[in-house]
Amino acid sequence: MSIKEEMAIVMSNDEEKSVILKILSLYIITTMIFLGIFFGAYYNRSYGLILHERSNELREVYEDLIRTLDKNHSINQHTLSELLNVNPNLHVMILDKNKVPVYNNLNMVLPEKYLNKKNGIYVFDGYVFIDSKPPKHRKIHKKNLSRSDLFSQYQVIIRGSNITSDIWWLRVKMIGFLLLSLLSVGVIAYFLLKFSLKPYKNKISFLNRFIKDTTHEINTPISVILMSIERIEKEEISESNLKKINRIHIAAKTLASIYRNIAFYSVAQQKDKSICVDVKELLEQRLEFFDPLFVQKNLNIRTSFAPSFINATIDEMGCVIDNLLSNAIKYNKKNGEIQINLEPNKLSIKDTGCGIYEENMKNIFERYIRYNHSQGGFGIGLALVKELCDRYGVAIKCESKVGEGSLFVLEWKKIPSSKIL
């Protein structure tokens, strides 16, 4: 594999995408809060400006109305006709002190709460209203009138133009600007994150290449050691030396198992085409491989095998079995027991080891998680098992009790007999 291809694998890593997504989400959410506050304040200000502009127009109309009323000294048909002549588009309601309309051409019904409002400006049904009473003193033909005069007894409500379209357009602009700002911030933040993570990705790429090269170099001496031990004529070796060779054999087998796990994680595996794997045959082969480790701890292996097949690759299914058997050996006690049951679409491996605490059960399939540091390891075995099981649709579950041991159960879809070669 070329460096460029390996870099592509690193850059498309799900964990990297997850980190970028989390940081980007947090950044966008916090930015959205600040932008929401900013645009909210800007919206209120713009809304107030629209209301202020329309209310100024109404104040001018109100002044014209008052001047007309002041000039006629009364509210009658002549006065009202003159009001409409001055401003044909005038929509006004004049109420007496008992809140009874003296004149009303608003062409709409105002709720009671608006009729009882104090002087001011408000919006109802999309229209701007000005509701005010004459001041305490007003000059009428150079004559002062007090509050007891005629016009101080009336409440005048004037309806202005409809501002619904202005408010909607304002909202559309605010939402548009908000979304555009968020999009811009998101794009900038994304590229900043990618740029910031680039040195780390280069480091990861370098480590991946280093581990790949290292594991490749380790594989050759391990294979040589295992082959050499298997070819030794043990009959000619003394009993003391034979024990030493057996220990070397066990250590080499352990290294081979560790190498296999690291190789699966560090080297981009080419996805071979799944075939119909004979799980029983594969399981027997792996048990033979681990036999020196069983003997070292004097473990009693109880098996019950039925013919079983699965659509997978031999190497990856072997890796699953190796890791489960390795854990059953590693965390078992001396003179303990391992029960292995194989059914047509189910495999269970039970040990009599130390067990797993209940609060730790939810994390046992996470990478680099270890709960028993005295036994060594990298914490990648069960994570690799879960990854491979998910790849082939195998359901895996674990039951464990501290001091009694653990049970791992794998279940998959049964292959029809017609598809078994």
* β partners of residue 94: 103, 156
Positive or negative, the Cα torsion across 364, 370, 376, 380? positive
Residues whose CB falls within 8 Å of the CB of residue 382, separated by 6 or more in sequence, listed in order? 323, 327, 364, 365
pLDDT (0 to 100) of residue 116:
62
pLDDT (0 to 100) of residue 152:
63
**How many whole angstroms separate alpha carbon 61 and alpha carbon 278?**
95
Q: How far is CA 395 from the centre of its chain?
A: 25
Q: Which amino acid is at 287?
A: L
**How many whole angstroms separate alpha carbon 121 and alpha carbon 205?**
67
Each residue's pLDDT expressed in tens, for the chain with a length of 421 residues: 443 344 344 444 566 777 778 888 888 888 888 888 988 898 889 888 888 888 888 887 777 777 776 676 666 677 777 777 767 777 888 877 777 887 788 878 877 776 665 557 888 888 888 886 544 434 444 444 443 355 566 778 888 888 888 889 988 998 898 889 888 888 888 888 888 878 877 887 777 777 666 666 676 677 777 777 777 777 777 777 877 887 787 777 777 777 777 777 665 455 567 788 899 999 998 898 888 888 888 999 999 999 999 998 888 888 899 889 988 998 899 999 999 999 988 999 999 988 888 887 888 888 766 656 555 555 677 888 898 899 889 999 999 988 889 999 999 988 877 666 6
Place of tokens 């009993």: 239
CA angle 96, 53, 158 (to 5 degrees): 15
Report the SS3 class of residue 271: coil
Question: Do the Cβ atoms of 321 and 288 come closer than 8 Å?
Answer: no
What are the structure tokens assigned to 314, written together? 């031999």
Q: Which own/partner pairs from 235-243 qualify as long-range (CB within 8 Å, at least 24 positions apart)?
A: none
Class (C level, CATH) for 271-419: alpha beta
Given strand 405-411, what is the order of strands in its sheet? 300-305, 337-343, 346-351, 405-411, 395-401
Question: Do the Cβ atoms of 395 and 413 come closer than 8 Å?
Answer: no
- Cα dist from 211 to 5, 97, 259, 388, whole Å: 16, 93, 11, 21
